[in-house]
Amino acid sequence: MRGKEQSVTCDSCGRSVPRSKAVAFQKAISFGTELRNPENDVRFFERRKVYYCISCAKHRGIFERLKDQAARHRQY
């Protein structure tokens, strides 16, 4: 049923897009303390799901990245 589909906000331009038309992309984010001493440096990696509208995804090259990821998964 596509009548009352939830809208998501494009992470790039802020446009409101239905979830079925939005392009979902896993974005890797890393946080670090950036200390000079490498023994005390703390790093945290997180993957966040972001949504892009079609025009922003095409402009940022997200489709090519998704194609490369799919090819890597098919290879294994």
Half-sphere exposure of 23 (CA within 13 A, CB side): 20
**Is pLDDT at 2 greater than 80 in this prediction?**
no
Task: Identify whether 1 is part of a domain.
Answer: no
Report d(CA 44, CA 28) in Å as an integer. Answer: 11
Average pLDDT over residues 25-54: 85
pLDDT in tens, 43-76: 888 999 999 999 999 999 999 988 998 898 888 6
d(CA 73, CA 55): 26
Q: What is the number of structural domains in the chain?
A: 1
Domain membership flag for residue 42: yes
| Boundaries of domain holding 70 | 7-75
27 in helix, strand or coil?
A: strand
Would residue 2 count as lying in a domain? no
